[in-house]
Amino acid sequence: MERILSGYRPTGMIHLGNYFGSLVNWIKLQSEYDCYFEVADYHALTTYYQHTDELPDYKLEMARDWLAAGLSPDKATIFIQSLVPEHAELHVLLSMLVPVPWLERNPTVKEMIRDMNLQGNVTYGLLGYPVLQAADILIYKAKCVPVGQDQLPHIELAREIAKRFNHLYGETFPVPEPILSQHPKVPGIDGRKMSKSLQNAIFIRDTYEDIEKKVYQAFTDPKKIRLGDPGHPEGCVVFAYHNLVNKDEIAQIETDCRSGKLGCVECKKRCAHAIYEFFTPVREKLQNFTLEKTKEILVEGSRKARKVAQATLEEVKERMHLK
């Protein structure tokens, strides 16, 4: 089977954007590819280096969400990035051959800097984030990387780095290909991309009350003010959520919104209910994955991942005449 690498920064719990943007795809891919999924804690430091006290909890809780949602250690290698320190060493080696302009023009990093108001406070680590991501992929010689549209520039950079390394030191790395997620970006309640840092996210572990509160604040068609007004579901955040979790009713909701028969208050109530119900099985399965069990799975996955990473790093050092 061809190998895949993907991961998430442990900066909080899993939200709808993570779930539909990546996790659903990972769960499908784990039966079709040799999958490596990382809890990317080094990456978390690129923007959360001042708040590391929450990192241990987030690492375990995020992995619990993955497991409860359906990722299986019997099918995929699930590991913690910092338990495989070879990622950091390959990052240093690759950083020697990456021109700074390649990093400065990366639109994904630019977007992150803008969304998180980091202008004037960009660290060396944040600028080099895509090089670390390339190291993550290349250390497992992954051929494919499942990503959302917004991550494509990172993969393009990983491809350029792989090609440059192969050109300089001899054929070592496969040039990775992206596998695009079928789901478009999931909007946050304010209509921007759903993100923990933008505080516009609905989490799969949210209580019904939390979900209801968030959905009631969600952006809808501004021209639909009262029951009876015809609505335009395209561009309505609530409709986008219905489309993810309420497939059986989506056609009727669209018809009733357009005709004015359905009001936004009722529509939001049904949406909150549908979101909560959709994730009930995941919340129930969380009980099967205690913190202790989750930790065991991550340690075992990291041990397995490390063997592969060590072999690649040895080869890289030989190619670079460091051995």
**Size of residue set near ligand SF4 by CB under 6 A:** 13
69 touches ligand SF4 (CB under 6 A): no
- Coil, strand or helix: which one is 120? coil
How far apart are CB 265 and ligand SF4 at their closest, in Å? 8
**Does 238 contact ligand SF4 by CB under 6 A?**
yes
Q: Find all residues with CB under 8 Å of 274, minimum gap 6, and list them.
A: 241, 242, 245, 246, 249
Q: Which is nearer to ligand SF4, 53 or 234 (CB)?
A: 234
Residue 267 in contact with ligand SF4, rule: CB under 6 A: yes
Near ligand SF4 by CB under 6 A: residue from 134, 257, 298, 305: 257
Per-residue CA distances from 237 to 14, 198, 199, 208, 215 (Å): 19, 16, 15, 18, 9
Structure-token pair, residue 236: 């309505």
Dist CA 4 CA 222 (whole Å): 42
Sort strands 34-39 and 76-80 into parallel, antiparallel or unpaired: parallel
Burial class (CB in 10 A: 0-12, 13-18, 19+), 171: exposed
68 near ligand SF4, rule: CB under 6 A = no
Between 135 and 257, whose beta carbon lies closer to ligand SF4? 257
Q: List the one residue from 58, 140, 203, 239 that touches ligand SF4 (CB under 6 A).
A: 239
Task: Determine contact, residues 134/307, Cβ cutoff 8 Å.
Answer: no
Please state, in angstroms and rounded to a whole number, the distance separating the CA atoms of residues 272 and 241. 9
- CB of 74 or CB of 234, closer to ligand SF4: 234
- Looking at the Cβ atoms of 204 and 267, the one nearer to ligand SF4 is 267
236 sits near ligand SF4 (criterion: CB under 6 A): yes
Q: Which residues bind ligand SF4 (CB under 6 A)?
A: 220-221, 224, 231, 233, 236, 238-239, 257, 262, 264, 267-268
